[in-house]
Structure formats: C-alpha cells, structure tokens
Structure 1
Amino acid sequence: MSVDSAHEDVPALIRLTDRACTALRANEMIVFDWAVLGLCCGCAGQPWLRTAPRSVTRRYRGFRPLDTDPPDSAVAHPRAYPYLVGRAIAVDCRRRFGLRRFSCDLPPDVGLAGLSSGAIRDGGP
C-alpha cells in the first residue's frame, strides 16, 4: 500500500517558476530523489530535490515521470513518488554566489517526519 493511497490515482502536478525554468539547463531535469535516513530499512527516508542530465534520468528505468509545467521537466524516484501524488508542487530556484539552489514547497513533514508519531497523532500529512 502506498503512503498516500487516497490520492494514488491523482498525479502530482509540478510547476516550475519562471526563475526555475530560466536556471534549468536545456539538458537537465528536476529529480525528486530519495535520501535514505535509516540504517534499518531503505524506506526510512526523505524526498529531496536535485538536477540531473536528461540522459541519466532516461537510463534509470526506476524514475517515474511527473506531470509538469513545462512538460517533461521533472521525474521522481520510486520511493519519493508516493509523497508527491495528489499534490500541486511549485519548484523555484535561487542563485547565491553564482550557485543554483532549487527548492520546492513540499511541507516539512513529508517523508520520515510524516511517518512519525506526531503525524499520526495530528491526523497525518
């Protein structure tokens, strides 16, 4: 059963801001990747955002395509995908000291924190 089975049939809509579109290079995609936070099991983790060359994302069959605006600009790791379905997510980019930093508006309790007892006590994510 997925993390958010109530929204399993509703795809995620990822919208890149104008700054993110400008900063994203023509040969890159946004990747909602999975950071393993627990040594006991691979499912204990947190989604995180990075960029990757399109050629790399196409070679890894596990990445799930996402509905994006603009089209074909983001994919998700299989473990991160359930945390994204049914959500409208904005991706932005800020430059600092010449470096790009992509961020999104996912709530801070997504992932491992969302599975904690606090999330269960408060009714979930």
Structure 2
Amino acid sequence: MIRLTERARAALRDGEVIVFDWAVLGLCCGCTGQPWLRTAPRAVALRYRGFRPLDAEPTGGVMAHPLAYLRLMDRDVTVDCRSRLGLRRFSCDPPQGVGLTELFGRTSSDSGHRG
C-alpha cells in the first residue's frame, strides 16, 4: 500500500497523481534502472497504457511505470512532500529491493550509501 502523508495530499493539484516512473540506468538493457517519483495530470497518466494504478491511500492517487510497478506492488511505501521556494519535492521511503543495487544482489549497506 502506498500512503500519501497529509503534506503530499495537500501538495497535489486538482487532477494530478503521483507517478513512480522508471529511469533507465543501463545502456544495454532497459530493465536496469531506478524508480523515481514525479507528478502528472491524471488524464495524461491514464492515456499512457503502460502506467498501472497501485493500491494507494487515497485510492487512485498513485500510478507506476510497469517496471516500477513490479518492484512496488504489495509493499508499504510512504510518500511525503516538502516545498521550498514554491517548488514541490515529493519523496518516499522505498523498501529494500526496489533499487538498482538490489537487482545485482547488493544491499544498500554494501554499496556504501543509505537508501
């Protein structure tokens, strides 16, 4: 279940959803990458047939790229938002096993950074 904090809910504009998109990090394989968070108009996200809705609170507020969807379904993630100088920055606490390092069998502590 993806849960939006009160700040994240308040920061979303009318008709907007949170999207877990997929940033391709590998040159030879489109499946190596990292999910990243952004917003999109709901109508645009629904037109892209690859985006799938995730179980979220509030219902219908979160969608994901197919590769990000596979790594986020059935996981608990909290999405928050901070504003600075009028710019919104959405962030989340992705569970272990979502990023590129985990795809290669390394944990966050092995790679020298914290996730």
**TM-score, structure 2 normalization:** 0.88
Query: Which of residues 27, 52, 75 is equivalent to 2:63?
Result: 75
Matched, 1:112 2:100: yes
CA drift at 1:108 = 6.4
Letter in 2 for 1:93: C
4+ long deviations beyond 6 Å: none
Give aligned-pair identity as a percent. 66
CA drift at 1:69 = 0.7
CA drift at 1:117 = 3.8
Matched, 1:16 2:15: no
Instruction: Provide the alpha-carbon RMSD of the alignment.
Output: 1.5
Letter in 1 for 2:28: C
CA drift at 1:55 = 1.0
In structure 1, distance between residues paired with 2:85 and 2:95:
27
CA drift at 1:118 = 2.1
- Structure 2: gaps (5+ residues): 111-115
CA drift at 1:27 = 1.3
- Structure 1: gaps (5+ residues): 1-12
Aligned to 2:78: 90
1:24-47 superposed Cα distances (whole Å, 9 cap, x missing partner): 011100000000001010001000
**TM-score, structure 1 normalization:** 0.81
In structure 2, distance between residues paired with 1:97 and 1:108:
31
Instruction: Provide closer, same or farther for how the CA distance between residues 99 and 108 of structure 1 changes in structure 2, counting only shifts above 3 A.
Output: farther
In structure 2, distance between residues paired with 1:104 and 1:65:
17
Aligned to 1:49: 37
